[in-house]
Amino acid sequence: MKTVFTIFSVLVFTVISPANGCPPSDRAALLAFKAALHEPYLGIFNSWTGTDCCHNWYGVSCDPQSHRVADINLRGESEDPIFERAHRTGFMTGFISPEICKLTRLSSLTIADWKGITGEIPKCITSLPFLRILDLIGNKLSGEIPADIGRLKRLTVLNVADNQLSGRIPSSFTSLSNLMHLDLRNNKISGPIPGKAGDLSMLSRALLSGNMISGPIPVSICRIYRLADLDLSMNKMSGVIPPCLGKMAVLATLNLDCNMLMGTIPTTLLTSAIGNLNLSRNALEGNIPDVFGLTSYFTVIDLSHNKLRGPIPRSLSAASYIGHLDLSYNHLCGRIPAGAPFDHLEASSFMYNDCLCGETDLF
Residues in the site for ligand NAG, rule: CB under 6 A? 233, 257-258, 278, 280-281, 300, 302, 324
In the complex, minimum distance from the CB of residue 256 to ligand NAG, in angstroms, rounded to a whole number = 9
Nearer to ligand NAG by Cβ, of 49 and 348: the residue is 348
Three-state SS string over 182-227 comes to EECCCCCCEEECCHHHHHCCCCCEEECCCCEEEECCCHHHHHCCCC
Nearer to ligand NAG by Cβ, of 152 and 258: the residue is 258
Residues 6+ apart with CB under 8 A from 361: none
* Gyration radius of the chain over CA positions: 26
Nearer to ligand NAG by Cβ, of 126 and 276: the residue is 276
H helix runs in the chain, sequence order: 2-16, 24-35, 81-86
Nearer to ligand NAG by Cβ, of 162 and 257: the residue is 257
In b/e form, how buried is each residue of 322-336, taking b as 16+ CB within 10 angstroms? Answer: beebbbbbbebeeeb
d(CA 189, CA 316): 38
Nearer to ligand NAG by Cβ, of 102 and 281: the residue is 281
In the complex, minimum distance from the CB of residue 213 to ligand NAG, in angstroms, rounded to a whole number = 15
Q: Is 265 left (phi over 0), alpha (psi -120 to 50) or beta?
A: beta
Amino acid at 256: L
In the complex, minimum distance from the CB of residue 220 to ligand NAG, in angstroms, rounded to a whole number = 25
Residues 6+ apart with CB under 8 A from 151: 126, 127, 172, 175
Nearer to ligand NAG by Cβ, of 179 and 213: the residue is 213
Nearer to ligand NAG by Cβ, of 88 and 188: the residue is 188
Nearest to 107 by CA among 87, 80, 143, 134: 134
194 cis-preceded (ω within 30 degrees of 0): no
Give the chain's length: 363
Residues 6+ apart with CB under 8 A from 87: none
Q: Which residue is nearest to ligand NAG (CB)?
A: 257
In the complex, minimum distance from the CB of residue 170 to ligand NAG, in angstroms, rounded to a whole number = 27
Per the CB < 8 A criterion, the answer to whether 198 and 227 are in contact is: no
In the complex, minimum distance from the CB of residue 276 to ligand NAG, in angstroms, rounded to a whole number = 8
In the complex, minimum distance from the CB of residue 302 to ligand NAG, in angstroms, rounded to a whole number = 4
Nearer to ligand NAG by Cβ, of 176 and 258: the residue is 258
In the complex, minimum distance from the CB of residue 288 to ligand NAG, in angstroms, rounded to a whole number = 16
Centre a 10 Å sphere on the Cβ of residue 160 and count the other Cβ atoms it contains: 22
In the complex, minimum distance from the CB of residue 92 to ligand NAG, in angstroms, rounded to a whole number = 31
In the complex, minimum distance from the CB of residue 299 to ligand NAG, in angstroms, rounded to a whole number = 9
Nearer to ligand NAG by Cβ, of 74 and 277: the residue is 277
